[in-house]
Amino acid sequence: MSTSSSRSVVAVLSLCGISVALMQTMVVPIIPDLPRLLSATPAAASWVITATLLAAAVCNPVGGRLGDMYGKRRMMLVSLGMMIAGSLICALSDSLWVVVAGRAIQGCAIGVIPLGISIMRDVLPPARLGSAMALMSATLGAGAGVGMPLAAFVAQRADWHALFWAAAGMGALALALVLLVVRESPVRAPGRFDFAGAAGLTAGLLCLLLAISKGGDWGWGSPITLGLFGAAAIILPLWGWLESRVRHPLIDLRTTARRPVLLTNVASVLVGFALFAMSLILPQLLQAPLSTGHGLGLDLLATGLCMAPSGLVMMLLSPVSARVAGRSGPKAALVSGIAVLAVGYLAGAGLMDAAWQVVITTVITSAGLGLAYSAMPALIMASVPATETAAANGLNALMRAVGTAASSAVISALLAQMTVATPFGPLPSLAGLRAAMLLAAAAAVAGLLVALLIPRHPHPADEAAGRVVPMPADPLPDAAQPG
């Protein structure tokens, strides 16, 4: 691929990642208003967020495996099509459960980012691969950083449906550019799709993430929460046992058990926990009324602008992460990133007196996230065969989603216990916000310890790993394969 062609592919795939990240975070500024907008209780309105989380968690590994088998570009187009469809459903309805259904369909598009990284590995020249993967990884944070102030601006000056019309438009633009610029990867995984494995993983993840996400509303000791945790504890090990005996499993557990892959995924859970903590803690500090004694009293737009540097920092640091990984290995970039992330949260526990201090915290933590997130795909793909890159990246994205769900549940419960009385009702106290920051720092330190255990030189996959001879775009059925 020529230099100009590779640049075009990287630009289009990065735009797709930013579009999906914008879609995921666009409702954050209107979360407090959702019960009024949808004529629902706060607990019911929270399904607008939960549905997207659940759909994204399930579709990441499933969509990745389908991409490995039937074409990554093809699955990316399907994902973008679902993003458009889900956005249009939300844009045309005022009904709570219709909007929840639309948000669930939107969540299926989050697999665009791991699919895009896998396409890059298959079609880009090696000299451009490191920086391109780092840039694609950074789009998740960049889209969220840009999306917060943009969504706040639209929500304050237009009907809330405009957010979903904008998401549909961006999805349509991204889909058209993929059709025009990105060619299909020739690499294919053999075998048939594991429907039983997909069903088992879906059931297990739904039980686990639903219990984590809604346990605070239902009660952690309630029968439904405990029942879901129990079901997950039974289904997921049984699914793993069955997957280890399938010829072409949905997720090759032998590959994911390799030390570099396993430890990177464990670190991803902890980094995902720390990532979402910033989105939960800092906006509450910025928007809390001045009468609380610690709140900064900013409106939605000003809050979004204070958070916006996070996306810019992650984008700017993506080439830095690629250079660090190129010189010292992706492990060095991951360790450096998580260390900076921990320092950012520790500093942030004391930087809570002014908006500019919050911006400093945002910049430091985002710098760490940019370095860490950009290194994860390189660590994963250095240890898996090229025919499994999309599924492996999808699993890594799933691990981050599990960390995000756990962060939302744990930190929300912590802030709900440490409150101060105000005319607007109980709000998180300064001690609660600081405790949450220190908890996020502890998660980052734990992630750092796990990252230090990753082998410096990942165990190589089999002889074909990373250099698989491309198969035809439409491989022959199993029965017709030679030999």
CA quadruple 379, 385, 391, 392: dihedral, nearest 10 = -20
The rounded distance, in Å, linking the Cα atoms of 79 and 59 is 9
Domain ranges of the chain: 1-185, 258-459
Closest CA relative to residue 321, chosen from 144, 132, 450, 140: 132
CA dist., res. 290 & res. 427, Å (int): 12
Sequence length of the chain is 483
Q: Is 318 left (phi over 0), alpha (psi -120 to 50) or beta?
A: alpha
Handedness of CA 148, 280, 53, 12 (dihedral sign): positive
Rg (CA), the chain: 22
* Rounded Cα gap, residues 277 and 203, in angstroms: 27
Per residue of the chain (483 residues), give pLDDT as tens.
Answer: 566 688 888 889 988 988 888 887 778 777 777 888 888 887 788 788 888 888 888 888 888 888 888 888 999 999 999 999 999 999 998 888 999 999 999 988 888 888 888 888 888 887 777 778 877 877 777 777 777 777 777 777 788 888 899 899 999 999 999 999 988 888 777 778 888 888 898 898 889 888 887 887 788 889 999 999 999 999 999 998 988 888 878 777 777 778 888 888 888 889 888 877 787 788 888 888 887 777 788 887 788 788 878 777 887 777 777 778 778 788 888 898 899 999 999 998 888 888 898 899 988 988 888 888 778 877 887 777 766 776 777 777 778 878 887 887 788 778 878 888 777 677 888 888 889 899 999 999 999 999 898 887 544 433 334 443 333 333 333 433 433
Q: Judge whether 1-185 and 258-459 match in fold.
A: yes
The values of phi and psi at residue 351, to 5°, are -100, 75
pLDDT for the residue 443: 92
CATH superfamily of 1-185: MFS general substrate transporter like domains (1.20.1250.20)
Joined together, the tokens standing for residue 9 give 């592919």
Query: 328-363 burial, b if ≥16 CB within 10 A, otherwise e?
Result: ebbbbbbbbbbbbbbbbbbbbbebbeebebbbbbbe
User: Which ranges of 124-182 would DSSP assign to H, the alpha helix?
Assistant: 126-157, 161-181
* pTM reported for the whole predicted model: 0.79
C-alpha 386 chain-centroid distance: 22
What six digits make up the tokens of 76? 């990316």
DSSP state of 478: G
Class of domain 258-459: mainly alpha
Q: Say if CB 201 and CB 251 are below 8 A apart.
A: yes
CB contact at 8 A, 295 and 289: yes
Query: Tell me, what's the pLDDT at 313?
Result: 83
The per-residue b/e assignment along 423-434, b for 16 or more CB within 10 angstroms, e otherwise, is eeeebbbbebbb
Buried b (16+ CB within 10 A) or exposed e, 367-401: bbbbbbbbbbbbbbbbbbbbbbbbbbbbbbbbbbb
